[in-house]
Structure 1
Amino acid sequence: MISIKASTRQRRIIELLLDRKQEITAADIAAIVGTSTRTIHRELLEIEPMLEAGGIKLHKIAGLGIKVEADPESLASFKAEINRNDPLEYSADERKILILCRLLDHDEPVKLFALAAGLRVTMPTVTHDLDELEEMIAKQGLILVRRRGYGVEITGPETAKRSLISLLAHNYLDDSDVFGQFKDQTVVHPVTAELLRMVGKASFMKLEQALWELNDEWRSTLSESAYTRLLIKLSVALTRIGRGYLIASGSDIGDAPRDDRFLNRLLAALMLQLPEEEKQYFASLIAQAEEPDDALLIYQGDMPVIETVTLLIRYVQERIHMPLLQDRSLAEGLIQHIKPAFQRIRDGIAIRNPMLVPIKKDYGRLFSIVRQGVNELVHHLEVPDEEIGYIVMHFGAALERLKQFPRKIRAVLVCTSGIGSSKLLAVRIAKELPQIELIGHYSWYEAARLPSSQYDLIVSTVDLPLEPDQYIKLSPLLTREETSKLRSHIEGTTLKKLAPADNGEGDTGEQTPLDRLMLLQLYSAEILRLLDGFRVHDLTVKRDETKLESLLPEMIALLGRQDTSENGDKIAAQLLARERQGSLVIPDTELALIHTRSEWIRDPLLALYRYNEPLLMSEDGSSAARQILMMLGPLNPGKYALEILSEISAMLLLPDTVEALTSGDTSSIKAFISHKLELYIKTKLDWRD
């Protein structure tokens, strides 16, 4: 057995070389490692003997780059060995994560020299790391205690410690880390391995299987991200409980409603008995995951984030001359991504992007444009290239949508247990072929019972008892070769099957005409009901009464409905509470959106108010609006109603929508919204003229 002593940088270079089938240049390696090309060449001089000792040959090919060559057994053995040996040094971000894990895993002080020795750095280096961690720890409701002769520890409520561990896991681990099946734990990066230990990999998979089997209908109401976050939080709790870290009696856990029947079934499936405080904690996590959003927007970003995204899309659009502002998916995806990503940067949490080098190579010009745009628009943060890479992926997906297949492809993902392997594949498909619409994860038993009209293609991670033209088998990692295989299968088999037969019936092979007519009726009923009550109200305000709070009662009264009239004060309070979470003035306009979902609202409502003077939309007077679009919905609106309301809110990012709401009358605005929603329904139903 060889003994490998490599620094963190050398390990990263080796991992890049071992994972590449094609050549990679020293400049590309330097870009992802974050150093100079000269340094890479110097490191390669030390790396080459390590590789040779493991039976691996390093080839340097002029004009092409660097490549390793070895038999599969030698490669596998070397990968296992290099990960089995701790690196000689960790990066600053890796050190901070390991320090947090060490302190959170102990309920007594840890000596500073012990931390330094474990990380192979000096005590002043650890002291500097702790200085940078202190603010982030405080934000989580915990205290970093440091005293000479005493040591270092993190104190505070057990619930806050669990939240911090969950935050680290959510921000640092990939879906492939938490859902992937690692047969050999020695191939996992030490930091990843430590976080997986804190989460409890075994607990995570056990929970995932239990929740999947226990209540599939309940699980299906959660988004993929919400489901994963819940699994991580529950798994962290189980792991902490197993190590004896319990929530103290009398702790304030909140008063989340308890569904003891579901909770008891879950605990029985896990063969677990918990103290009352822990049961309440589990109930609160489940309740938070189930809690419906009080907003009607399909994104939940603050307006500064929305403004940054809008300006960035406009910046890129002007330089590549492509109609990106019309792509609602691009705006929504960036809004949902950038807010938590920027928060991670503010918190000093490392951002990994293993795709950075291929992104720079495949989208070099786009990367440069996005980099320049972020530099010009984001002044309060230093955004690393890793994050720019993720942003570029959103733009790259938008460009791919402009050269889609002749029609969208609805794909069903099949796996044999849980969503583990299929979730990995879903992430890869979304990145590589965004024109494929993933309509759900199913077991083979479930997929076999789906009407064929509801999907075009089955993608499976296992062999299925079907004809070759009915499905395609792929690995969860979706290699470059498999991406080409999937594209070829769609173009050569799936699309040909879906081509309309020349039988005069016009059957497209998707939904039947009756299916489409029924869906059209459902969507149309919601649209007509919403637009029938839409009105534009031109109002005058006094100069000393320009605060939204003072005008809301009159605005609600003008709706003229019994449910709003009887509960006007309560609805106004909910609107104000939502508004205080962040300004809702559309960037570069005098149009604002106020919205809420309420138990006091019977049916969805839409109304536009125009004032002769700007209304103050914030306490400090920093934002104001002359036009206010009010959107109200029931606490639990139907699927189609919520979809229509969400689509209208998303339309506010489009300049022509703002223009229509600013200058049109009631009839013209109704016509405009009707036209936009007609296009939306045609796209949704894939209904071609």
Structure 2
Amino acid sequence: MRKITARQRQIIWLLLGVSGEITAAEIAEATGVSVRTVHREMEDIESALKNFGLNLIKKSGKGIQLSGPEAGLAELRLFLREEKPAEYSGEDRKVYELCALLEAEEPVKLFTLAHSLKVTVASVSYDLDELEQWVRKFGLELVRRRGYGVEITGSEIDKRRAIGRLAAEHLDLSDLVGHGTQTESNPVFRVLLSTVGKSNLMEVENTLWDMEWKWTAELPEIVYMEMLLGLAVTTRRIEIGRSIDSGEEAGYSRMSDHRNIAGAESFVQQLGAALGMEIPRVEVLYIAGLFDRVQDSFSSAGFAYGDIELMEIVYKLTESVVKRTGLPFQSDRSLREGLLEHIDPALKRIREGTRIRNPLLGPIRRDYEYLFNIVRASVEDMQLELEIPDEEIGFLVMHFGASVERLNQLRRNVRAILVCASGLSSSRLLATRLTKEMPQIEILGNISWYEAARLPDVDYDLIISTIDLPIDKERYIKISPLLTGEEIEKLLNYIQNTTLRERETGPLGEQDRTMRDEASLERLKSYKGILDEMVSLLERFRFHPIDNKGMDLSATLVEMLALLNGSGVIGDADIVLERLLERERMTSQVIPDTGLALFHTRSSHIHLSSLTLYRLRQPVILEGDTEVRVILLMLAPRRLSKESLEVLSEISALLLNSELVQLLEERTEPEIRGYLSSELLHFFQTKI
């Protein structure tokens, strides 16, 4: 049998990975080639499949499906895992070259790379020309000299950042935590998985879980996964002797309050014992810094608290889609929260030049073509000065598609938990598809893969996942977020033959009833937390006029903070002042088309959440020479419950309401408090 190429291998894995048909266009989208190229490859693929007693079924208007006995399919999978491809794609070569250079102790000869990849030295040289710009993004340099070889130079911390980005651009979540993935069958990506420390990842995750830190459980999945990957990369670098040089600052800020050093020491001690490695002190500081940055980065975990620029983007996008469709998207609070959570990290990735991967783009464009075109046009209308790729538009479409299909809750008898690799957009789309197609299923929520591995059985009836999970296959069912007709039937059979049959084995035991009762109690506590936060904020709300004549912004803020003395809100006012000024330098605080600004920050030096309004005698000049005469100051402790974040996020969103802006600019303290009370009461009533 002749060798198959890397591209043919990739196409065959796609065919093996779907239960029904897949179109040539979807294959082309997934492999990054043209439809014509896919059709051209099919002849050789069909010939190769005959050796396993398999064939391709081509259905006009539906797509292509791999068919044959299970024994032949198993033999094909084994062959693909063991057989080396006849050639590597250009993208594969670059991944291999970067991994080799980032792990090398000394310069690597071009001939060595060319020999490993079975290409010419000229091909490798051309690849390196293209990689130079990518390497520079991380403060690294690609050094090439005749007779010397090639190497990547720079700090160890920057090299770790580069490895993390390489993983983000080429690996999916399921590649890192699933079983027997397609990626593991590709020799180049096996190298990448080794470079990012996949062999240590689950041990790192188990150790992290054993620490029982509350803040890690509150992290959004994407933030948690980035942290986990950073820790896995660290262990891999130590394994191969690439620890941080003692002269480097280990990425640990000298301005830090040192809150995570003790925790990092405990974590490193336990992890070192589990992996059987000695972890240097400088790495403890690096890991403590990593924990610091993660905790600071998720200040809007689940909710965009105080980010007016982001709020405005979501508002304008939603209004534009409303105008084009006539559908009342603006009344869908779940849509707004989902977009706020998704768009912030998405814009960050686009600005950083990170490659956006959306494996569902083909099916989304096919099944939601009308909505895709509307969302694309709406994004272009916003003139964001960023090139938004189709992959990102696809994620936005999933949010709006979920809103379109969202129906009133019906009585259900099966409780399900969702696990989705593509994040909140895919989980909400799947949830609404399930609500529409299978109303007997109650969606309890979406959780991360690591929570799924530890969730007590009594908390749910079944787990529905879009990825392979690192748990027994009997504990969950895997389907796609688009929920095809065939998958509906598969899910129904699973519920009837597995879930409901297990339930019929007997009544709940005393322990099970206790756990369910405790879950109800937690829900009541959540409601109480929301109410307590709203009442506390409204009771502490104050309005102050300020005579700031002759004062600059900094002096005006000092005067504002001084009026909070004795309230128990602030500890160190100087640090809070610096945080407020730093945030103002980073992004605009001005509410669009108003003379009002929202200044906000979170800090360990703030003890209570606070909302205070100030009207200035003399305007202060902010970004874009905007004159601001009214400032709303929103302060909160660094550690906040999810419920508190929800309330602060809701208040931030209300600032896009012209009625509230007018009240803040002109009306009295009781009138403003009354309006906020009414709106927050409505918000709470939608939660229960």
Q: Tell me, yes or no, whether TM beats 0.5.
A: yes
Of 306, 323, 326 in structure 2, the residue corresponding to residue 318 of structure 1 is: 323
Q: Which residue of 1 aligns with 2:363?
A: 358
Of 14, 18, 33 in structure 1, the residue corresponding to residue 12 of structure 2 is: 14
Residues 579-638 of structure 1 deviation map (CA, whole Å, 9 limit, x = unaligned): 2222233445444321112344332210223457753223xx355544322101234356
Q: Which residue of 2 aligns with 1:500?
A: none
Residue 193 of structure 2 aligns with an amino acid whose one-letter code is: L
Change (3 A) 1:581 1:57: same
Change (3 A) 1:565 1:101: closer
Q: Is 1:678 matched up with 2:681? A: yes
Change (3 A) 1:655 1:146: farther
The structural deviation recorded for 1:54 is 3.5
- Aligned counterparts of 1:28 and 1:46: Cα–Cα separation in 2: 19
Q: State the SS of the aligned residue for 1:433.
A: helix
Matches within 5 A, 1:322-361: 322-345=327-350, 348-361=353-366
The structural deviation recorded for 1:197 is 1.1
Q: Is the 8 A contact 2:141 2:154 kept in 1?
A: yes
Matches within 5 A, 1:153-164: 153-164=151-162
Residue 634 of structure 1 aligns with an amino acid whose one-letter code is: P
Q: Is the 8 A contact 2:595 2:630 kept in 1?
A: yes
Residues 496-550 of structure 1 deviation map (CA, whole Å, 9 limit, x = unaligned): x9xxxxxxxxxxx9999998876655443332221122234455765x75x5323
Q: Which residue of 2 aligns with 1:506?
A: none
Matches within 5 A, 1:203-218: 203-215=200-212, 217=214
The structural deviation recorded for 1:369 is 1.7
Q: Is 1:447 matched up with 2:456? A: yes
- Aligned counterparts of 2:590 and 2:621: Cα–Cα separation in 1: 10
- Aligned counterparts of 2:14 and 2:148: Cα–Cα separation in 1: 42
Q: Is the 8 A contact 2:114 2:124 kept in 1?
A: yes
Q: Is the 8 A contact 1:586 1:592 kept in 2?
A: yes
Q: Note the residue ranges of structure 1 that are not aligned, 5 or more in a row.
A: 415-421, 463-471, 498-508
Of 212, 237, 258 in structure 2, the residue corresponding to residue 240 of structure 1 is: 237
Aligned residues: 642
- Aligned counterparts of 2:384 and 2:331: Cα–Cα separation in 1: 26
Q: Which residue of 2 aligns with 1:175?
A: 173
Q: Which residue of 1 aligns with 2:273?
A: 268
Of 526, 533, 555 in structure 2, the residue corresponding to residue 526 of structure 1 is: 533
- Aligned counterparts of 1:590 and 1:655: Cα–Cα separation in 2: 12
Q: Is the 8 A contact 2:55 2:68 kept in 1?
A: yes
Residue 4 of structure 2 aligns with an amino acid whose one-letter code is: K
The structural deviation recorded for 1:313 is 2.5
The structural deviation recorded for 1:304 is 5.5
Q: Is the 8 A contact 1:301 1:339 kept in 2?
A: no
Change (3 A) 1:553 1:274: closer
Residue 572 of structure 1 aligns with an amino acid whose one-letter code is: L
What percentage of residue pairs aligned between the two structures are identical?
Answer: 39
Residues 550-602 of structure 1 deviation map (CA, whole Å, 9 limit, x = unaligned): 32122223446455688544422221122222223344544432111234433
Residue 4 of structure 1 aligns with an amino acid whose one-letter code is: K
Q: Is 1:374 matched up with 2:379? A: yes
Residues 453-502 of structure 1 deviation map (CA, whole Å, 9 limit, x = unaligned): xx6x443589xxxxxxxxx9532556755666668999999xxx9xxxxx
Q: Which residue of 1 aligns with 2:198?
A: 201
Q: State the SS of the aligned residue for 2:262.
A: coil
Of 411, 414, 431 in structure 2, the residue corresponding to residue 433 of structure 1 is: 431
Q: Is the 8 A contact 1:328 1:650 kept in 2?
A: no
Change (3 A) 1:151 1:683: same
Residue 675 of structure 1 aligns with an amino acid whose one-letter code is: S
Q: Which residue of 2 aligns with 1:505?
A: none
Q: Is the 8 A contact 2:306 2:598 kept in 1?
A: no
Change (3 A) 1:106 1:331: farther
Q: State the SS of the aligned residue for 1:273.
A: coil
Q: Which residue of 2 aligns with 1:108?
A: 106
Q: Which residue of 1 aligns with 2:639?
A: 636
Residue 405 of structure 1 aligns with an amino acid whose one-letter code is: Q
The structural deviation recorded for 1:23 is 3.1
Q: Which residue of 2 aligns with 1:4?
A: 3
Change (3 A) 1:356 1:513: closer
Q: Which residue of 2 aligns with 1:608?
A: 613
Matches within 5 A, 1:210-609: 210-215=207-212, 217=214, 219-253=216-250, 254=252, 256=258, 257-259=261-263, 260-290=265-295, 298-299=303-304, 306-345=311-350, 348-378=353-383, 380-400=385-405, 402-406=406-410, 429-433=427-431, 436-438=443-445, 447=456, 457-460=460-463, 473-476=475-478, 480=484, 521-537=528-544, 547-559=552-564, 561-563=566-568, 567-609=572-614
- Aligned counterparts of 1:386 and 1:439: Cα–Cα separation in 2: 22
Choose 232-241 or 82-91, whichever is displaced more.
Answer: 82-91
- Aligned counterparts of 2:413 and 2:220: Cα–Cα separation in 1: 21
- Aligned counterparts of 1:442 and 1:297: Cα–Cα separation in 2: 16
Residue 475 of structure 1 aligns with an amino acid whose one-letter code is: I
Q: Is the 8 A contact 1:297 1:649 kept in 2?
A: no
- Aligned counterparts of 1:139 and 1:278: Cα–Cα separation in 2: 24
Q: Is 1:65 matched up with 2:72? A: no
The structural deviation recorded for 1:199 is 1.8
Change (3 A) 1:73 1:142: same
Q: CA RMSD, aligned part only? A: 4.2
Q: Is the 8 A contact 1:351 1:387 kept in 2?
A: yes
Change (3 A) 1:21 1:628: same
Q: Is the 8 A contact 2:537 2:611 kept in 1?
A: yes
- Aligned counterparts of 1:488 and 1:579: Cα–Cα separation in 2: 56
Residue 476 of structure 2 aligns with an amino acid whose one-letter code is: L
Q: Is the 8 A contact 1:30 1:40 kept in 2?
A: yes
Q: Is the 8 A contact 1:526 1:641 kept in 2?
A: yes
Q: Is 1:137 matched up with 2:135? A: yes
Choose 113-122 or 224-233, whichever is displaced more.
Answer: 113-122
Q: Is the 8 A contact 1:97 1:191 kept in 2?
A: yes
Choose 558-567 or 135-144, whichever is displaced more.
Answer: 558-567
TM-score (norm 1): 0.79
Change (3 A) 1:24 1:477: closer
Choose 117-126 or 106-115, whichever is displaced more.
Answer: 117-126
- Aligned counterparts of 2:16 and 2:63: Cα–Cα separation in 1: 14
Of 5, 21, 24 in structure 2, the residue corresponding to residue 23 of structure 1 is: 21
Q: Is the 8 A contact 2:156 2:244 kept in 1?
A: yes
Q: Is 1:669 matched up with 2:667? A: no
Residues 18-56 of structure 1 deviation map (CA, whole Å, 9 limit, x = unaligned): 333333444444455555444443333343323333432
Q: State the SS of the aligned residue for 2:324.
A: helix
Q: State the SS of the aligned residue for 2:587.
A: coil
Change (3 A) 1:510 1:77: same
Q: Is the 8 A contact 2:306 2:648 kept in 1?
A: no
Q: Is the 8 A contact 1:530 1:604 kept in 2?
A: yes
Q: Is the 8 A contact 1:592 1:627 kept in 2?
A: yes
Change (3 A) 1:668 1:458: farther
Q: Is the 8 A contact 2:312 2:656 kept in 1?
A: no
Q: Is the 8 A contact 1:109 1:152 kept in 2?
A: yes
Q: Which residue of 2 aligns with 1:501?
A: none
Change (3 A) 1:594 1:488: farther
- Aligned counterparts of 1:514 and 1:83: Cα–Cα separation in 2: 49
Residue 258 of structure 1 aligns with an amino acid whose one-letter code is: A
TM-score (norm 2): 0.79
Change (3 A) 1:515 1:273: closer
Choose 363-372 or 58-67, whichever is displaced more.
Answer: 58-67
The structural deviation recorded for 1:91 is 5.1
The structural deviation recorded for 1:154 is 0.7
Q: Is the 8 A contact 1:539 1:612 kept in 2?
A: yes
